[in-house]
Structure formats: C-alpha cells, structure tokens
A and B are shown apart, each in its own frame.
Chain A
Amino acid sequence: MAQKAIREYDAKSILAKHWDKYFSNFTYAYETVMVQNGSELKEIANEKSWLKEKTLVAKPDMLFGKRGKNCLVLFRDSRPGDVSLEKASSWIDEKSSDKQSVYFSFHGDTPDGEAKIDYLTHFIVEPFAPHSQEDEYYISATCVGDDDVLYMSAEGGMEVEENWDKVTEVAFAITDTEEEIEAKIRANIPADVADKNKEGFATFAIGFFKAYRELNFAYLEINPFVMEENKIELLDMVAKLDDTAGFMMTKEWGDIEYPTSFGMEEKSPEVLAIEAADSKSGASLKLTVLKPEARIWTMVAGGGASVVYADTIADLAGIEDLANYGEYSGGPTTGETQFYAETLLDLMTREKDVNGREKVLIIGGAIANFTDVAKTFTGIILAFEKYADKMKEVGVKIYVRRGGPNYEKGLKDIKIAADKLGLWIDVYGPETHVTDIVRMAVEG
C-alpha cells in the first residue's frame, strides 16, 4: 500500500526541517519530543531545557485521533496549563502501564462502536501554549480522484468534522503551476478569517500546500494550528506519506517509521518474516493471517487471482472458514517459494480443526504470464517434504490449479511428490475454471 500513516512527532519534524523553505515569513519553535516512558522524558529534559521551564501538554502519538474525547490529553494538573515535567512523566508512566481503551469514533461526546484495547507506547510532549480560540485555524490537504484538494477553515479544533459547512475546499490539478496554485488559494480564503489575518493565512496556506506537494505527503492535516502575527503553533497534526516516493525522499524525510495502528494485532513473527523476504526480493510475497484456527488456507499466485479465490471461498464456504489471505507473484525463486510455503504449512498444521474436519490447502493461480510454474512448485514440493508428517497428522487435503510457463511439468511433479509422501492431492490445469477447485474442496 502506497499511503502510510506516520506519527504526529515525525510529521512535525519533517515540517520543521523544511520550515524556512515553505514558511519563511513565520516562526515555529519546534518544541516537541517523543518518548516511551517518564524517565526517558526526564532524561531529554537535561538537553531540552524548555521541558523544565515551561508547563507541558502530553498525549499519545499512535496514529489515532479523538485523544481529547478519550481523555488522553494531559494539560491540567489542578488547573489548565499547570502540568510540570514531574506530572507529565508520572502521567505517561501511569498511562503506559496498563492497557487502555480507545474509541475511534464518537457521536457528540458519546463513544460510537467498539473500543480498541491496547498498550500506549509512544507519547508526544510539548509546551502548553495558551492562545485565544479565534487564533485557531484548520488546514488539510489530500488527493481526491485525480486532484489534490486543500481544505481550510477559520475554525480549528476537534469539532471540524461536524462543521464541514465552515470548511472551504479548493481543488488543484496535478499540472497546476505555482502561480495558479497561489492564485486559487488567495481567491478562496475562508470568509470567516478576519480581514487583518487574511494575508497571513493565505501565505501560510500556500506554504502548507507546497510542502504537502513537494514533500510527497499523501495526507496532511493540522487541526488546529495557531497563528498569532507571524508566530505559528502546530497543536495537532495527522499525516500520511506516499511511501513509494521513499527512494527520492530519504534526505527530506529522514529516518521514518511506519507504525502499526493502535489496537491492531502486532504482526506475528511469520508475517514479519514474509514481509522481510518480500522487501529483499524482486518478486512479491504477501501474507495476512485472518483466522489461524480456520480450516481453509490459500497459497495463491498473483494479486488478482488471490482476491478471486478469497471472494469465492467467502461465497461458497463462508468467511469463517478462511484462515489467511496472501499471494506470491512476479517470478519468485524456488527458495523464496519454499520459504513462503513452509511458513504457511507451519501455521496451518499447528492445531487440528476444532470440529474434526480435514483442513484444505488451496494452491491456486491463474495462467501465469512469465512465472515458471515448475520452478515455483519445486519450492512447494520441498516444503511438503519437510511438513508431510505434520500435514498427515492434522489431515490436509490439497487442491491445485495452475497454468502458465512449464505448468505441465509443475503439475506432474507436485502430484508425484504428494503421492509419494502419502498426501491427499487433486491437480488441475488451465482447462479447469480458475476457482472451481474451491467448489470441489467445499463439496468434497
């Protein structure tokens, strides 16, 4: 996936790094730190004296919003704006010691939907910045359809989703020149921005949109930012990067991390291993474990075919039977395919089916354009040899359907190998409809 969320701290750091290029008329103190616990914060305070000198605000920095409504923004001890370094440290330690419930959406102040429960591991700490509500603004940019769209509002703050009528939208074609962009922004400054601030707002918005474009953000939101004369505070930021641009942004972005969102299950070692293999290979290896105890496992070649198999299993067997989603494609080597197959076989042979049924392994794929079927199947056969005993113990039926370069040999090899190992297998070529083995597996 090309668009990846980054932490608020990283988003601010990227803007700060390029501040003079885009916001030369404004100042931004860039007083912000990210820590994982209280003692780390105290240690940083030895270098960054403002942590000791100013009162602070602390909040989790873990890709979710609505932190205020979740009561996860620390800005008061006994009254607003009195949070000391000591208090911030102890609050961070307290919040990170136990799992926390976080709601991702609210109806008014009432939580909507299920809470996600997980540990808070990353916190962002900044100075408390008293300001008046009228100096708060909203700005964001993203890509909609073929265009970039800039959203601006004179009213910043957490309620902006409920006040879309106060947001001005401006769309830009990818081919728009800098002059056209400036003219469009100037022509669309929200009417609610006070006249004396319109020029400043426009200048900031132009810089913001340029930064969004040139730094290859996929999404960039500041809600709110505070503008007092030429002084800017970035109170709350959300950002996604187009990670395909990473190779040309190494200097601009610095060392960037794409964290898993809060409440998402940590990736299993198996998934991480496949991701590591994928990043090293010219081919594509993808694995998502959906339901490890389910009985149908898929090892499908090709991005499109893998979706078709998943669709068909959901249609014919039901979603509760589907254990994983994944694909291998782009001509992986025998070794890569073997590793991929072993990872799957290992996962699927850990437990027997709770209802005592046999498990099903779908080795599917469309007719390959250039992937050598015999070569990739050699990798699968090697994995069979390693896991044959476990597969027999759990009870696995294997259904194969594949076409493409060298498919006759591939199909013959896998049939002979499985028979020799005493594994149950059925093998089909391009004369059988691509997903028909799912029907056979479900009926059989």
Chain B
Amino acid sequence: MAQLFTKDTQAIFWNNNASAIQRMLDYDYTIGRKTPSVAGIVAPTGDSKFQKFFWGSDEIMVPLFKNTTMASKAFPNADVLLNFASFRTAYDVTMEALELGAFKTIMITAEGIPERLARGMNAKARALGVTVIGPATVGAIAPGAFKIANVGGTIENIINSKLHRAGSCGLVTRSGGLFNELSNIISINADGIAEGVAIGGDRFVGSVFIDNLLRMQDNPEVKYMLLLGEVGGTEEYKVIDAVKSGKITKPIIAWCIGTIAKYYDSGVQFGHAGASANGDQETADAKNRAMSEAGMFVPSSFNDLPTTIARVYNELKESGVIQDIVEPVINSVPKVRKSKQFICTISDDRGDEATYAGFPISSVATPDTGKGIGDVISLLWFKKQYPKWATDFIETVIKTVADHGPAVSGAHNAKVTARAGKSVVESLVTGLLTIGPRFGGAIDGAAEHFKYANDNNLNPAEFLNHMKKLGIPIPGIGHRIKSLRNPDLRVVGLKKYASEYFPSTPLLDYALEVEQLTTSKKDNLILNVDGTIGILMVDMWRALGYSEEEINKFISSGTLNAFFIAGRTIGFIGHVLDEKRLEMPMYRHPMDDILYQVDVAEEI
C-alpha cells in the first residue's frame, strides 16, 4: 500500500483527548469527508457511552469504549490506532493493539517510553507489518484525506499551509514543531505536501526515515521528498544507500539540523533524546555532506532551505512532472459554535414533514401504507424497521394487555381518581403510576429470570431451586383459575402465533419445559400471559439478531414494561371515560371494610 491514509481511513483514538479529536473532526468537515476520521474513543476510566463533538456547526456523537478490544470489535474497519496513552501505559496499549491484529498503523505520542520496551514493541510491529509512527511524535497527515490529532495545528494554519488538499511533496521529519513549519515553507515555495510524517524524537522510533521515503517513492501522488534529519544516529545513511542503489529515484531535498553540536562536547544535549552524535559520521555536517554527495538537494543552511525547495519544485513543474492543482472547495468551520443541551435520535421535525426514524409520518400513518402501530413502535422505540411478523406480534401484545377489568389496582385507582372529579390525564397517570414490580411487572420479571436460567443452562429443576433460593415466586408462572386443562386462551393465541410466524422460539420452548414441572406440582402453575409475552419478546429480539447484551439492556431499562404501559393506557382511558359518562359521585371506602386497630402512642 503506497498510501499511508485515504479519505476512508478511520481511527480508534486511545484516550479521550477531546481537543485533539475535535481538531481531527474539524479537519474532516473542512475537507468534506463523509465519515468522521475518529470512529471510536477508548476511555478506560470514563463512564459515558459516547462524547459529543462538533461536526461543522452540528454535533455528532463518537462512542466511548473501555478498551481497545471492544472499540476494535465495534469498528473493525478502523485500522489506525492513535495511542495517546502516557509513557507508563503506551507500551501496553500498543502491544494489546498488535495482538488484536486489527490495525495497519499505530501512532504513539508518549515521550520517554523505556528504551527496551520501545525497541520490543517496534520490533514486534515490524514483524507483523504494522507501521508505527512515533513514539514522541505529533503524528502524520495525508492532506485532503486524514490527519492525526494536532498535526498541522489550528484549522486556519492548515488552510494557510495548504494541508487541506494534496500537493506533491512527501515530507519526513523527526521534529513535530518543524513539521508544521516545513509544511508552511513548502506551501509558500511549492504546492504543499502529498503526505507527511513526523517520525518522533525518541532514540528508538518505529518507522524510520527510510521506511517512509520508500513508501513515498511508490506513492504516485508524491513527486519529490523533503527529509529533515538531525544530528545523531545513522538513519540518514540508509536513505543515502537507497538513493545510491536506485531504490529511490524521486528527488530528495535534505537537511540535517544540529550543525552547532560540533562546537560543544557531548555534555550539551541539543534537541531530542535521539539527537546526540556518537562519532564523526553521526554529526549533522557529515550527514549533510554525504547526502549532498549522493545527489540529494542539500541547502547551504536551514535558512536557505526555502530557495532549494522553490528550485526543485519549479524544475519539476517546468518538466511537466508536477501539474497545476485545482484548489478544492472547502467547508468552513464556524467560529462560534454552541453545544446542544438535548440530543434526539428518534424523530425529527425540522424538514417539510416530521419523521419517525427517517420515515415521514404520512408514509406510515394511513392504512394504504400497510404500516400499523407495531411499525411505529419499532421505529420510535428501536429505530429499526422490524419485519411484519415482529410488528404484528407487537400489535398482538398491545391488544392483549389493553385491559383486564375494573378490579385490578391500576384500573381501580384510575376510577377512584376520576370520581374525585379529576381530568382524564390526571386519572390516567394515577392508574399508570400503579404499574411497577407487582402490577404489570411480571412481564419484565419473567423475561429476566427465564433468560437468566436459559443463558446459564439451568435445567427446569435447577431453575426452580434457584428461584427458591432467591425467595421469589417465579414471575410469569401461575394463574388464579386457569390450568393446563382450562387454558388461558390469550396464551394459546400468543403461542400459536409464535409457532407459526417466529423463526424459532428457544426461550418459550424452555419455559414450557419449566411449566411441565411446575404444573406437575400444582395444576394452576401454568405459564401465564405476562410470562408468555416477556419470554416471546426475548425470542423475538433474538430472532431479529440482537446480541444477548442488547436484550439484557432492553430488559433492565424497562422496555418490556413499556409494552404493558402502552397497552394498558388504552384500557385505563376507557375506564376513566366510563366514569365520566356514568357521573358517579366521589368514592368513599366503606368503614366496615377496614380493620381499625389503633393503639395510644407510647412516650419515648
């Protein structure tokens, strides 16, 4: 692969470095990327599920993960890891990422990773064919495609330095600050860069000059290269060898900084940890001389570098190697942006017509659309288009739980409130507020406990034992009067529907085995309607491809209860309207129906 990054490249960002990530997203927006360059963030100590970032003047959510493995699983296409861990943990993060095998490029920003660890991780990456940028680097950029974190600085500087679109220079430096400076110099004296890498200032870095220059030699967008070396080390000689042997044929402009080091003994450390000359060959002067002799374009000093760049660029331009660039249109990032207080991901009323999860209301409302209340629930509650068998099932559930007569506590409360002269909504919520662990809660409970037993491969006897230990009756089992011989026809209907239309019903099958055991003890310990609904909901979600984790989350967040609330609202409203029609007076409970036993309070 001759290009380090493309416009589709996505990264996992290790550490929630919000300002650096925002800069990446601002860059993405500016150059008109379709997808954010940061797919996910690893925030080991954070508690949130996502973090909001600006995307132009809008906001988007970037998901947060506890570790690299989870992030990588969620975004298998994100093949770049931006490792912003500290020098204490950067090694472990890199090694975990290498084990995963999901990353093509790993950038490491920490400075001062123990040398032996840095060497180990670099060697492993090299063996696996993974490009390591850093440690101790600000990163790399493929202008117009992908930019790492803070490289290039502010968005204004990026545009001034033409880093928002590809030019024709391949830039490799050690230093991050000078990387930026050179991008600027190249934009003033030539047409900008096609790809740039700051390899990092530590003594042991992953990819070195030659690795990057060889890739740039193969990258057709790169027409010439600029190498900024430093006093110390012998990496520049590898480049000299490649030029001499013809492996690199594109022109290279080169300069090694640190010519001053020759005036001082080794006691003065100039620049980076890697910058210290051991022997004459490693001095900046010797390297500059050798690079010049190998045919590279070496200026007489750093101050003359701009002239050399202009000369090489203009020659390539005149000979037709470099063409004129058509400047692309850029999206400007607004200067003032306001963070949103609320987030909505289910419906939108900003366009011509309000939508449910992207569908205009009219496209699901009228009978000719073929859509029913089940479809509306699937859109607004789950942001998915469920298949017909599932939406029909949801409707069946809603209809099944709509009412159960006036005597149940919720309906009774609603009726008492209505008779006190309260409005429909006041009476309704009084009824609804009764819904909880005892009233309507069996749906939740059945789903939770049966699923737990099934997930943990408890046989029916073990399950009963388990519930006994917990000290709670099995939710969803038992009926006041119904039995196997005198079945609840609502349950019969649900089971019949499921067996005909569900792809499979593993949890129901399990529940029926449990029912065999419970009914052998007592006739009326049947799987009741609440249990059937809760269990079939789990089977429905499983058949729709939800993970066990997601289903558990549905259960724990009260989604099953929501079906009961939605359905029973219909019945409660019926009872309230009934009271309004009947104009029954204020209700007072007969005193002879109350056991009074009131002792005189003791003094303490």
Interface residues of A (CB under 8 A from B): 1-3, 143, 145-146, 173-175, 213, 216, 218, 242, 244-245, 247-248, 261, 264, 286, 288, 290, 301-308, 310-316, 319, 322, 325, 327, 329, 365-370, 403-405, 430-431, 433-436, 438-439
Q: Nearest-CB distance from B305 to chain A (Å)?
A: 8
In contact, A1 and B276 (Cβ under 8 angstroms): yes
Q: Considering the complex of A and B, which 7 residue pairs feature the smallest CB-CB distances, nearest first? A: A304-B175, A302-B177, A366-B181, A245-B114, A304-B178, A307-B271, A174-B119
Task: Produce 1/0 per residue, B250-288, CB < 8 A to A.
Answer: 000000011110011001111111011000000010000
Contacting pair A367 B180 (CB below 8 A)? yes
Of the stretches B2-10, B120-128, B349-357, the one at the interface is B120-128
A367-B114 contact, Cβ under 8 Å, with A175-B124, A303-B175, A304-B174:
no
Is the Cβ of A305 less than 8 Å from the Cβ of B177?
Answer: yes
CB-CB under 8 A for A311 and B157, given A304-B271, A305-B181: no
Nearest-neighbor residue (CB-CB) of A246 within chain B:
B114
- B63 interface hit (Cβ, 8 Å): no
B333 interface residue, CB < 8 Å from A? no
B20 interface neighbour in A173, A311, A370, Cβ under 8 Å = A370
- Tell whether, in the assembled complex, residue B303 and residue A305 are in contact, meaning their CB atoms are under 8 Å apart: no
Q: Mark B117-157, 1 if CB is under 8 A from A, else 0.
A: 10110011001000000000010000000000011111001
Closest Cβ of chain A: how far from B345's Cβ, in Å? 32
Question: Is A146 within 8 A of B119, CB to CB?
Answer: yes
Please indicate the chain B residues that have their CB under 8 angstroms from the CB of A329 in the complex: 177
B386 within 8 Å of A (CB atoms): no
A306 CA / B175 CA spacing, docked (Å) = 11
Measured CA separation A431–B157 after assembly (Å)? 11
In the complex, the answer to whether B178 meets A308 with C-beta atoms within 8 Å is yes
CB distance B259 to A405 under 8 Å?
A: no
Q: Check B81 for interface membership: any CB of A closer than 8 A.
A: no
B552 within 8 A of A: no
Query: Are B230's CB and A405's CB within 8 A?
Result: no
B115 touches A143 (CB 8 A): yes
Closest to B307 in A: A433
Q: Beyond the given A242-B114, A329-B177, A370-B150, could you list 5 further A-B residue pairs with CB under 8 A, ordered by the A residue number?
A: A1-B276, A286-B269, A302-B176, A304-B257, A313-B260
How far, in angstroms, from A325 to B123 measured CA to CA in the complex? 34
User: Is B302 an interface position by the 8 A CB rule?
Assistant: yes
Do A315 and B257 have beta carbons less than 8 Å apart? no
With A369-B153, A430-B157, A430-B184 as contacts: A174 and B120 at CB distance below 8 Å: yes
Which residues B274-324 have CB closer than 8 A to chain A? 275-276, 284, 301-303, 306
B260 in complex: contacting residue of A305, A314, A366, CB < 8 Å:
A314
When chains A and B are docked, how far (Å) is the Cα of A220 from the Cα of B115?
A: 15
Question: Using a CB-CB cutoff of 8 Å, which residues 218-261 of chain B contact chain A?
Answer: 228, 230-231, 234, 257-260
Name the distance in Å between A118's Cβ and chain B's nearest Cβ: 13
- Distance, CA A312 to CA B255, complexed state (A): 13
Query: Contact: A174 with B181, CB < 8 Å?
Result: no
Residue of A nearest to B264 (CB): A290
Give min CB distance, A140 to chain B, whole Å. Answer: 15
Among A315, A329, A366, A403: residue with most chain B CB under 10 A: A366
Contacts of B202 in A (CB 8 A): 2
CB of B88 within 8 Å of the partner chain: yes
User: What chain A residues lie within 8 Å of B150 (beta carbons)?
Assistant: 369-370
Chain A residues with CB under 8 A of B178? 302, 304-305, 308, 366
Chain B residues whose C-beta falls within 8 Å of the C-beta of A302 in the assembled complex = 175-178
B161 to chain A, nearest CB (A): 8
A431-B202 Cα distance, complex, nearest whole Å: 30
> Provided the pairs A264-B267, A369-B176 are in contact, do residues A303 and B201 lie with their beta carbons within 8 angstroms?
yes
B269 surroundings in chain A (CB, below 8 A): 1, 286, 288
Offer 29 A-B interface pairs, CB within 8 angstroms, sorted by A.
A2-B115, A146-B119, A174-B119, A174-B120, A218-B115, A244-B112, A264-B267, A288-B269, A303-B175, A303-B272, A304-B175, A304-B272, A305-B178, A311-B259, A314-B263, A315-B301, A315-B303, A325-B268, A366-B181, A367-B180, A368-B180, A369-B138, A369-B152, A369-B177, A403-B157, A403-B184, A404-B180, A431-B188, A433-B303
A92–B151 Cα distance when bound, in Å, is 56
Most buried by B among A2, A213, A403: A2
- Rounded to whole angstroms, the CA-CA distance of A301 and B124 in the bound complex is 34
B178 to chain A, nearest CB (A): 4
Contacts of A434 in B (CB 8 A): 181, 185
The chain B residue with its CB closest to the CB of A431 is B188
CB pair A311–B260 under 8 Å, yes or no, is: yes
Q: Which of chain A's residues has its CB closest to B272's CB?
A: A303
Give the nearest-CB partner of A302 in chain B. B177
Alpha-carbon distance between A365 and B153 when the two chains are bound, in angstroms: 14
A residues within 8 A CB of B228?
304
Known: A175-B124, A430-B157. A312 touches B302 (CB 8 A): yes
Q: Tell me the smallest distance from the CB of A161 to a CB of chain B, in Å.
A: 15
List, in ascending order, chain B residues with CB within 8 A of A307's CB.
230-231, 257-258, 260, 270-271, 275
Produce 1/0 per residue, B158-185, CB < 8 A to A: 0011000000000001111110110011
- Contact residues, B1-46 vs A (CB, 8 A): 19-20
A245 to B273, CA, bound (A): 14
The interface size bin for chain B is 35 or more
Q: What's the least CB distance linking B285 to chain A, in Å?
A: 10
Please give, as numbers and ranges, the residues of chain A lying within 8 Å of B271 by CB-CB distance.
303-304, 306-307, 327
Any A CB within 8 A of the CB of B438: no
A2 touches B273 (CB 8 A): yes
For residue B87, CB closer than 8 A to chain A, the reply is: yes
A119 to B48 Cα, complex, angstroms: 60
Instruction: Check B303–A213 contact: CB distance below 8 A.
Output: no
Once the chains are docked, how many angstroms separate the CA of A288 from the CA of B275? 15
Please tell me if the beta carbons of B115 and A367 are within 8 angstroms of each other in the complex.
Answer: no
Residues of A within 8 A of B270 (CB): 306-307, 310, 325
B521 at interface (Cβ–Cβ under 8 A)?
Answer: no
For A316, the closest partner residue in chain B by CB is B303
**A245:B152 contact, CB within 8 angstroms:** no
CA distance A439 to B306 in the complex (A): 15
Determine how close the nearest CB of chain B comes to the CB of A281; give it in whole angstroms.
13
In the bound complex, residues from chain B placing their C-beta under 8 Å from that of A327 are 271
Interface string of B196-226 (1 = CB under 8 A from A): 0000011110000000000000000000000
B340 CB within 8 Å of chain A? no
Q: Tell yes or no: B116 within 8 A of A by CB.
A: yes
- Complex-state Cα separation, A207 to B334, whole angstroms: 63
- Minimal beta-carbon separation of A342 from chain B (angstroms): 23
Distance between Cα atoms of A287 and B301 in the complex (Å): 24
Q: For A313, what are the chain B residues with a Cβ–Cβ distance below 8 Å?
A: 260
Q: A264 contacts which chain B residues (CB < 8 A)?
A: 267
Q: Assess the A370–B258 pair: CB atoms within 8 A.
A: no
B536 at the interface (CB under 8 A from A): no
Check A213–B116 contact: CB distance below 8 A: yes
Q: Which residues of B contact A3 (CB under 8 A)?
A: 115
Complex: how many Å from CA A435 to CA B306?
A: 11
Name the contact of B154 in the complex, choosing from A213, A216, A319, A405 (C-beta under 8 A). A405
Q: Assuming the A-B contacts A303-B271, A405-B153, are A433 and B306 also in contact, with contact meaning beta carbons closer than 8 angstroms in the complex?
A: yes
B114 nearest in chain A by CB position: A245
B113 beta carbon closer than 8 Å to chain A: yes
Given contacts A303-B271, A311-B259, is CB(A244)–CB(B154) below 8 Å? no
Residues in A whose Cβ lies below 8 Å from that of B113: 244
- Write the nearest CB–CB distance from A349 to chain B, whole angstroms: 23
CA distance A312 to B284 in the complex (A): 13
- With A305-B178, A310-B270, A312-B301 known as contacts, the answer to whether A367 contacts B157 (CB < 8 A) is yes
Complex alpha-carbon distance, A174 and B206, angstroms: 13
Alpha-carbon separation in the docked complex, A264 to B268 (Å): 11
A216 in contact with B114 (CB, 8 Å): yes
Contact partner of A311 (CB less than 8 A), chosen from B115, B123, B152, B301, is B301
Closest A residue by C-beta to B228: A304
Among A1, A248, A365, find the residue whose CB has the most chain B CB atoms closer than 10 A.
Answer: A1
The docked-state distance in angstroms from the alpha carbon of A74 to that of B157 is 65
Contacting pair B114 A248 (CB below 8 A): yes
Cα–Cα distance between A311 and B178 once the two chains are bound (Å): 14
